[in-house]
Amino acid sequence: MSDNLNQQPLITLKNIRKMYYTDQIETLALKDINLEINKGEFISIMGPSGCGKSTLLNMLGLLDRPSTGTIEFEGKTLDKLSDKALAPIRNEKLGFVFQTFHLIPDLRVVDNVALPLLYRPMSNKERRERALNALKIVGLDARVNHFPTQLSGGQQQRVAIARAIVGEPPVILADEPTGNLDSHMGNEIMSILFDLNENRGTTIVMVTHDREQADQTQRTVRVFDGQLVH
Amino acid sequence: MLSHYFKMALVVLWRRKFMAFVNIFGIVITLLTLIVGVAALNSGLNPKKAARNTEQYLVIDEMCFTGERNTRNGGVGHQFYTRHLQPMQTPDKISFSTSAHSAVVFQQGQKLNFAIRRTDATYWEIMQHQLLEGRWYDQAELENGQFVAVINESLREQYFAGESPLNQSLRINGQTFNVIGVVEDEPETSRTSFSDIWVPLTTAPSANYQKEWIGDGQVLVWIEDASKRDLMARETQDLASQFEYVPDPTRYEQALFLAKTPLDNVSNKFLGENCTNLSHASTFISVIAAITLVFMLLPAINMINLNVSRILERAPEIGLRKAAGASNRLLVGQFLVETLVVTTIGGVVAFVIAPWVLAFMNNTLIRYGQLSMSLGVFMAGLGLILVFGLLSGVYPAWRMSKLAPANALRGGHRHA
Ligand SMILES: Nc1ncnc2c1ncn2[C@@H]1O[C@H](COP(=O)(O)OP(=O)(O)OP(=O)(O)O)[C@@H](O)[C@H]1O
Ligand SMILES: [Mg+2]
């Protein structure tokens, strides 16, 4: 942390609270979270199930608005930004691997992977080439024209990872990216992430239950009952 | 981007075939309802054939006698016609004819059913039937009670096997007529001009009709100068006040009737407003508009329902696209294209089917029908469906695109 003192953090969470309201119950999923993510870091988030890891990742990935508190991205406060202003940030700066993949069932694997590129100005040919390349990286170049339902859980996860990296975003947020993979494939994915982090300077925030994986990262953030524990 | 949306729309249609089918079916039914409804209304209001001139031509076919304690209504009786209507000053021509009755014609032991109408000679001058061969009967033949008949082309086809029927005889309800002319078919919906056989009024088996005050007659009025229609209205009012029911003047004191344009005629009949000298055309048009709306609304509501659930089901997709950087505008654009594609397919199918449906109605449901499709109505219907599609397909997508991606990904349930 010390070597980042005079560097501006990439993402800053200040006093973040997140309440969920259901029919009867209110859940305070995050309580007064303060967290800084610096450029080029590889951070792991650990904690028991239901403690708020995914909620926290949603905040960092600008996928949800906090109930109170502010989020800064590259020094800019975001809570007053419109969706229109957030869209290019999500598109260019952030790659997200969801815990439950979220592939579009109507689209073939290659089109699922190319999705973030769809919202960038480029030719269809280039989109396809880049998507095929990303699929090659995750070792799925033989399943290009399948539909998501025709893939195993692990294969779907790799499609989701390919989609997160296809646009070469400076930040990747991954929610248990190896949760459905065997240790061999898991290691493969980890080495892809490490490669992106080391050779391209990609900032990575990863939720994991795997202590070994967490130990390999530069910093581990522990969450318990919606709070950071030190 | 557009090509992606287009491809996406087709993919979605293809992968959700049943949904797509129901949706397109709804659109087609809506359009067909509209097309057929308007075609029927149009042929009722603007008959193209014999009764075509709507400005100069008026009909009296329903009237009502009212007294302190009694009312009676029905068609025009011949006695009322000769006493009160025939002497009117404003009409340039006035004619009395019966409505179309059923007539039995035997052909080689086979019983055929046709429609027969008894008319005066002026009928042919006011109506403008297309004469195919021969001639109409004239005043002299009417006065002499000559057994002459004009028939339509369908009867010529069926009874005379297409040969010229002129000077041939035709036995109808026990009377023998000499065929003197053939006219084009008139659609059954055109109440004043339709029939298969026309014969002089004076050939009626009994002269009882001459005593009738209320009967089954229709009176056609021709006013050369259409601006004199106000005058006509005043004259009929005067007439109502001078009315005297000779058989028993205390029984009925007033004769209410309206010399109607085709629109008034259809309107008042539809609304059951016969005992009146007022036009209910505007009410009629609003009622028809309301009915059409309801009929269109039923499939439309179904479509809206379907669309909304289709969009809700795709909430995760919307969330995902947002997370991948789609702006709200692009998302709405995607669903716009999908709606346009579905509407276009529905429109094309309806456009192809509509002529068949109308042909079926013309050939099977309405004798000698002449329903035709109006391109303007078709386009208006398509426009309306587009509005419904946008409301149901694009509006929910737009609402959902306003959600935070995380919420949409979870299925679009709202959270604060
Ligand atoms: N949409 C929601 N509505 C209501 N409550 C929610 C919602 N999402 C999460 N929660 C609640 O918020 C808390 C944190 O959930 P979250 O998904 O962040 O946990 P997690 O740490 O990611 O768990 P896991 O390791 O099982 O994925 C949980 O108690 C959960 O029940
Ligand atoms: Mg989670």
In whole angstroms, give the CA distance from residue B252 to residue A227.
Answer: 95
Check if B410 has its Cβ closer than 6 Å to any atom of ligand 1: yes
A112: burial class by Cβ within 10 Å (0-12, 13-18, 19+)? buried
- Smallest CA–CA distance, residue B316 to chain A, in Å, is 7
Which residue do the tokens 């386009």 mark?
A: B379
Chain A interface, best mutation among B10, B321, B334, B403, by max A CB count within 10 A = B321
In whole angstroms, give the CA distance from residue B86 to residue B244.
Answer: 15
**What pLDDT score does A2 carry?**
44
- Ligand 1 atom at minimum distance from A51 CA: 21
Which residue do the tokens 């004259």 mark?
A: B235
Check if A172 has its Cβ closer than 6 Å to any atom of ligand 1: no
Contact A119/B4, CB-based, under 8 Å?
no
User: Could you write out the three-class secondary structure of B31-67?
Assistant: HHHHHHHHHHHHHHHCCCCCCCCCCCEEEECCEEEEC
- The CA B59 to ligand 1 mean position distance, Å, reads 77
Check if A55 has its Cβ closer than 6 Å to any atom of ligand 1: yes
In whole angstroms, give the CA distance from residue B203 to residue B205.
Answer: 6
**What pLDDT score does B365 carry?**
74
Tell how strand A171-175 and strand A94-97 pair up: parallel
In whole angstroms, give the CA distance from residue B95 to residue B83.
Answer: 13
Q: Any CB–CB contact under 8 A between A220 and chain B?
A: no
Strand order in the sheet with A68-73: A26-37, A11-21, A68-73, A76-77
**What pLDDT score does A4 carry?**
47
Average of per-residue pLDDT values in chain A: 92
Which ligand number lies closest to the CA of residue A64? 1
- φ/ψ of B60, rounded to 5, equals -120, 110
Comparing CB atoms, the residue among B8, B321, B328 nearest residue A83 is: B328
Contact A87/B326, CB-based, under 8 Å?
yes
- Ligand 1 atom at minimum distance from B406 CA: 1
Q: Which letter does DSSP use for residue B313 in this model?
A: H
- φ/ψ of A61, rounded to 5, equals -90, 10
In whole angstroms, give the CA distance from residue B318 to residue B79.
Answer: 77
Q: What is the pLDDT of residues B253-273, one digit of tens each?
A: 888 887 777 677 777 777 777
Check if A227 has its Cβ closer than 6 Å to any atom of ligand 1: no
In whole angstroms, give the CA distance from residue B28 to residue B45.
Answer: 25
Domain positions in chain B:
2-46+283-409, 57-260
Given a contact cutoff of 8 angstroms between Cβ atoms, the answer to whether B51 and B192 are in contact is yes
**What pLDDT score does B321 carry?**
94
Q: Any CB–CB contact under 8 A between A73 and chain B?
A: no
In whole angstroms, give the CA distance from residue B187 to residue B208.
Answer: 30
In whole angstroms, give the CA distance from residue B142 to residue B123.
Answer: 11
Segments of chain A scoring below 50 in pLDDT? 1-5
Angle at alpha carbon of residue B320, lines to B387 and A97, rounded to 5°: 175
Q: What is the pLDDT of residues B317-361, one digit of tens each?
A: 999 999 999 999 888 988 888 888 888 898 899 899 998 998 888
- φ/ψ of B179, rounded to 5, equals -75, 125
For atom 28 of ligand 1, which residue has the closest CA?
Answer: A50
Strand partners, A204: A42, A172
Q: Which residues surround ligand 2, an ion (CB under 5 A)?
A: A 54, 99
**What pLDDT score does A190 carry?**
92
**What pLDDT score does A147 carry?**
95
Which ligand number lies closest to the CA of residue A58? 1
Which ligand number lies closest to the CA of residue A28? 1
Name chain A contacts of B328, Cβ cutoff 8 Å. Answer: 83-84, 87
Checking A138-141 for CB contacts under 8 A at 24+ apart, the result is A138/A162, A138/A188, A138/A189, A138/A192, A139/A185, A139/A188, A140/A109
**What pLDDT score does B415 carry?**
41
pLDDT by residue, tens only, chain B of 416 residues:
778 788 878 887 887 788 888 888 888 888 888 888 778 777 766 666 666 656 788 888 888 888 888 888 889 999 999 999 999 999 999 999 999 999 888 877 788 889 999 999 999 999 889 999 999 999 999 999 999 999 999 999 988 887 899 999 999 988 999 999 999 998 887 888 899 999 999 999 999 999 999 999 999 999 988 788 888 888 888 887 788 888 888 888 888 887 777 677 777 777 777 677 777 778 887 887 788 778 777 877 877 788 888 888 889 999 999 999 999 988 898 888 888 888 889 889 989 999 899 888 888 777 777 788 878 878 888 888 888 888 878 888 888 888 899 999 887 654 43
**How distant is the alpha carbon of residue A116 from its chain centre?**
13
For atom 4 of ligand 1, which residue has the closest CA?
Answer: A20
Domain positions in chain A:
11-229
Angle between helices A83-93 and B315-323 (to 10 degrees): 70
Name chain B contacts of A102, Cβ cutoff 8 Å. Answer: 316, 319-320, 409
The whole model's pTM is what? 0.73
CATH dotted code for A11-229: 3.40.50.300
